[in-house]
Amino acid sequence: MLVIITYDVNTTTSEGRRRLRQVSKKCLDYGQRVQNSVFECIVDSTQFRKLKYELVALIDPKTDSLRFYQLGDNYKRKVDHVGAKESFDVEGPLIL
């Protein structure tokens, strides 16, 4: 299924900037960055639970925010992009 992950991390401190790097690095383990703080991940329900658990452990819930949007398996017609930095289709053919 496709899960959209968006986050706001408070970067006014060096600790916050470290959390931001960790959160985006963790999301990259599971999917692709499509905008500054927006990731698209193709995961099954077990992977999604694990990813969520790992991300929640990284943020400071008092200052940071994570949002998860589940678009299911039939997502291609539900996603639309306009403008710069088109993302690639993670399930599409890999052209070498």
Distance separating alpha carbons of residues 76 and 53, to the nearest angstrom? 26
| Helical packing angle, 45-58 and 14-30, nearest 10° | 170
Under rule CB under 8 A, residue 20 binds its own copies = no
φ and ψ at 15, to 5 degrees? Answer: -65, -40
What x-and-dash track marks residues 49-88 binding its own copies by CB under 8 A?
---x--xx--xxxxxxxxxxxxxx----xxxxxxxxx---
Number of residues that bind its own copies (CB under 8 A): 36
CA gap 11, 13 in Å, rounded: 5
Q: Which stretch binds its own copies (CB under 8 A): 24-32, 48-56, 88-96?
A: 48-56
Per the structure block, which two tokens stand in for 10? 């408070």
Residues forming the site for its own copies (CB under 8 A): 4, 6-8, 10, 34-38, 52, 55-56, 59-72, 77-85
Q: Show binding-site residues for Mg(2+).
A: 8
